[in-house]
Amino acid sequence: MYKAIIFDMDGILINSEPAWESAKFEAMKKWNIALKQQDADATIGIRVEDIARLWQVKFQLPSCETQRIEQEITNLAINEINTSGQPLDGVLDVLNQLKQSPLSIALASSSSLLIIDAVLDKLRIRNFFKVINSANQLEYGKPHPQVYLDTAHKLDLLSSQCIAIEDSVNGVIAAKAAQMTTIAIPPASLHDDPRYSIADGLLTSLLEVPEWLMQQDSDFYF
């Protein structure tokens, strides 16, 4: 039934949310803006270019500053990833197990290719992925399903043949809108958030994915 598994990156493969949060707060200080926590939280899972547009309008900055906001956040996040980025628990084990399965492995991230490259090189996991896709290169970002639909197309598969793994509500909405079977692995603090109820599977760790797959399809063995 399933032919591919598609990973989100931030919060699934790497604990990059602290890096992103720090980058958002530090970047906006350059415009003397004291960002509020709810502003940072509301943009989790959203493309940095969309964050930049949102905040340029919200904080009434000149439109020419939009690209600078994007660049500042991106550069700060990359520096943090290069300095202290680590794979989340189970990433290497699960990727190695999936590599032995009939599933193709792909990546569909809201991050730019600069960020994706930094993460894949830091974690040394690039070789696991048949397709690497950035919503930053597309017209729409998550929660729009375009990045998932485009990834399925690059895999030459139907959306119904793909499983998506997400940590954010925006990502889950995007994957479900693409009509993919969706596994949610939210942060522990959000595990009881009812918005994740639309996911087909709600797990606490990436390490639970192989067992979940075997429960869905007896053809999977790890």
Is the Cβ–Cβ distance between 98 and 214 less than 8 Å? no
φ and ψ at residue 180, rounded to 5 degrees: -100, 150
Is the Cβ–Cβ distance between 144 and 174 less than 8 Å? yes
Residues in the chain: 222
Is the Cβ–Cβ distance between 12 and 167 less than 8 Å? yes
- Helix (H) / strand (E) containing 114: helix 113-123
8 classed as catalytic: yes
- Helix (H) / strand (E) containing 132: strand 131-134
Q: Which distant-in-sequence residues (6+ apart) come within 8 Å of 153 by Cβ?
A: none
10, 39, 150, 167: which is the annotated catalytic residue? 10
Greatest Cα pair distance, the chain, in angstroms, is 57
Which residue has tokens 């596994």? Answer: 183
Find the radius of gyration of the CA atoms of the chain.
17
8, 39, 150, 167: which is the annotated catalytic residue? 8
Catalytic residues: 8, 10
